[in-house]
Amino acid sequence: MTGTPFSVTTRTTGAGAVVTVLGELDVATAPRLRAGIEALTLAAGQRLVVDLAGVTFCDSSGISALIAARNVAEAAGAGVALAAVPGRLSRTFGLIGLGDFFPTYPSAEAALRG
């Protein structure tokens, strides 16, 4: 498959970190997302927001990386939220029983305000 080149970028705000994912989140790219999230310094009370607006595909490895992100945030005493979840991925979350596992917001800014 060819599509949007994969990238993970991070910006830090007073409320926490926003990790923006672009491209296909799959077995080949999920380790890059995990590494980026594990490198973050989160403080108790902050929020980790994963912005998925640019995700064009997500397989089980990508979903596993998102669950790992939640675990990293919780270990730091921080919250986690997903922003701009594509409809197909939102439907997949519902089908596999993760529909309520992540708080979701229409944008990263809304998620930071939480």
What is d(CA 59, CA 66) in angstroms, rounded to the nearest whole number?
11
What is the structure's pLDDT at 62? 97
Angle between helices 30-38 and 60-75 (to 10 degrees): 10
What is the structure's pLDDT at 114? 83
Instruction: Spell out the per-residue pLDDT of the chain, length 114, in tens.
Output: 456 789 999 999 999 999 999 999 999 999 999 999 999 999 999 999 999 999 999 999 999 999 999 999 999 999 999 999 999 999 999 999 998 999 999 999 999 988
Sheet bearing 47-58, strands edge to edge: 7-13, 16-25, 47-58, 79-83, 104-105
**Rg of the chain taking only CA atoms, in angstroms:** 13
Are 62 and 33 in contact by the 8 Å Cβ rule? The answer is yes
Question: Domains in the chain, please, with CATH?
Answer: 7-113 (3.30.750.24)
What is the structure's pLDDT at 30? 97
Distances in Å between the alpha carbon of 62 and those of 45, 93, 109, 113, 114? 26, 12, 23, 25, 24
What is d(CA 106, CA 102) in angstroms, rounded to the nearest whole number?
13
What is the structure's pLDDT at 1? 47
